[in-house]
A and B are shown apart, each in its own frame.
Chain A
Amino acid sequence: MSGKGRLKVVLITGRSVKQGVSKDVSKFFDEYSEAITTCEMNPADIEVIGVPNGGYIDIVSPYGSITVQVKSSSDIPRGVLFIPYGIAVNTLIPPDTEGTGIPRSKGLEVFVTPSNKRVSDVRSLIESIGGVR
């Protein structure tokens, strides 16, 4: 399933200090946008995808896709991608709750590929959900 430049990984979402601190300043400020559009992966996986540390990747799930910056972290095991909670990653999360009421926000299989796009813009994501009337 995973060829050169394309990798299947398990998506884990969670709180980070930067996301938690910046969300209560403003979700429209750059610091928050950066926090929720920066993911962490194992350096070996980043090498497989073929992007530099700090480069851009597309993350694709059956429910949507986003472009984020990838940072190398040896604390993340191979085959796992960690990204903070927020509107960006929720583009990828299944809305089906499997009869529990809670979406599966950890453990979803997604594909990552190198990207030549800009990082997903948080304001555009908001407006595409709510529509500008």
Chain B
Amino acid sequence: MIASSIIEEEAVERTVEDVVCTFCGCCCDDLIVSVKGNRIVDVRNACALGLSKFLHMNENRLLKPKIGRSTSAKDVSLSEAVDVVVDLLKNSCYPLFYGWACTSCEAILLGLDLAEALGGAVDNTSIVCHGPTILAGQELGLITATLGQIKNRADLIIYWGCNPVEAHPRHMARYSVYARGRFIEGRRMRKVVVVDVRRTPTARVADLFIEIKPGYDYEVLSALKMLVRDLDLEVDEVGGVAVSKLEELADMMVEARFGVLFFGTGLTMSRGKDKNVEAAIELVRYLNFKTKFVLIPMRGHFNVTGANEVFTWRTGYPVSVDFSQGYPRYLPGETTAVDILRRGECDLFFVVASDPVSHLPRRAVEHLNNIPVVALDPKITPTVYISDVAIPVAYTGIEVEGSVYRMDTVPLRAKKIVDPPQGILSDVDVLKMILERVGGRM
């Protein structure tokens, strides 16, 4: 420790520019990271969420592979841990591979190959965010754009069921409300609408805030679909909103030269789920008879969009793929991770770059009491804590480079800024070792 702190004292501070943030789906690629020795000492341009991830990356770090759950865990070597994982996988009839939001596309490809080689199921964290957006998009298609187009052209910004001030803190400054675009020069040239069930911090910046009753998004979107087609509503209010207010919003939408509907889990996690998103897509479709309008889902975790992209290249399906029949199948509600766990079908749970113990319903993850759990993660998460085998890995986009996708499906190259702790490999390297041993293709 003393030696390393002397080295750090003497080290020259260097800066790495154009770093891709690894927190949310904004993937802001303008961070400037200052490094002294092998330690990140400052991050400029990051929001509070990104800053916390970079500056606290070494707190509560998983530094050694471990075997055994929680307090009975013991440290082992990487090769011992891999041996145990390979044995568990070879003895498993139906392993479920889950996670993939905070890792690279290269690692996700290997996860799909593992699932295929072993006849298991593989799912990503879309199932707890924008899974219903995928379902709706498969029914109707998405009329969408890149965030660059929004920055340069959008004069009406609608945030529906999302709260970027807290969940995507730089979204408004970098891509929408406050961004200085080529044709739209910042806030004064844009109108901003927020639709939500509560007055979020985002609502405070809106020109128009519409508070709807929880669970009434579908009704309100359907009413707007009628209004933008000049049809009369024979009621005074819809979903707790006065029709006069909806008429005001419909007029703003039609009068916009380039409108965008950003939507979040307020639509996907509420009553109606994919039907809510379908209603939003249909509204945007009708608006395009009168003006230019697009919609973009506010994707949450770092590379969750990349997971959907890679799943689709490899299997034809963006999420929830089952290889138990020897070929890829996709049945939402059947081959989705929450449903597989709830029904107690998988006999091994293999987690990469995610923390399902914290973020899936308890009644589903209680099945982890009955089956072996393997986790690859840089930190000691609750999932790592209850895993039978946990293998530490390097941070993608901080300690190893990799390809990732922003929420608007623009691919970016995440950088390596510092070295991982000694002996810690990337998810790609660990997955390759495991895949080679179980006889999968490389």
Contact = CB atoms under 8 A, between A and B. Distances in A.
Interface in A8-23: 10, 12-17, 20-22
A106 B69 contact: no
Contacts of B72: 132-133
Given A26-B379, A107-B271, A127-B70, A98 B333 contact: yes
B211 interface: yes
A12 B212 CA distance: 13
Interface in B113-167: 127-129, 131-132, 135, 163, 166-167
Given A77-B197, A131-B69, A104 B269 contact: yes
A91 interface: yes
Interface stretch (B52-60, B81-89, B230-238, B424-432): B52-60
Given A20-B167, A106-B270, A77 B362 contact: no
Contacts of A75: 198-200, 203
B319 interface: yes
A86 B275 CA distance: 26
A56 interface: no
A126 B360 CA distance: 12
B396 interface: no
B166 A16 contact: yes
B336 A131 contact: no
A80 B203 CA distance: 17
A70 B280 CA distance: 34
Interface residues of B, number: 73
A97 B363 contact: no
Nearest to B266: A106
A17 B166 CA distance: 5
Contact of A105 (B49, B70, B269, B274): B269
A86 B342 CA distance: 18
B163 A87 contact: no
Contacts of A96: 342
Interface size class, chain A: 35 or more
Interface stretch (B29-37, B245-253, B289-297, B351-359): B351-359
B355 A27 contact: yes
A126 B382 CA distance: 6
B342 A95 contact: yes
25 contacts: A12-B197, A14-B167, A17-B48, A17-B169, A20-B167, A24-B49, A25-B52, A25-B59, A63-B362, A82-B198, A85-B359, A87-B359, A90-B361, A93-B362, A97-B333, A97-B339, A98-B273, A99-B333, A100-B332, A105-B128, A126-B386, A129-B357, A129-B366, A130-B386, A130-B387
Interface of B: 23, 48-49, 52-53, 56-57, 59-60, 68-72, 127-129, 131-132, 135, 163, 166-167, 169, 197-200, 203, 211, 214-215, 265-266, 268-271, 273-274, 300, 319-320, 332-333, 336-339, 341-342, 355, 357-366, 368-369, 373, 379-382, 385-388
Interface of A: 10, 12-17, 20-22, 24-29, 63-64, 75-77, 80, 82, 85-87, 90-91, 93-107, 122, 125-127, 129-133
The 5 closest A-B pairs by CB, nearest first: A130-B386, A101-B336, A26-B60, A99-B333, A95-B363
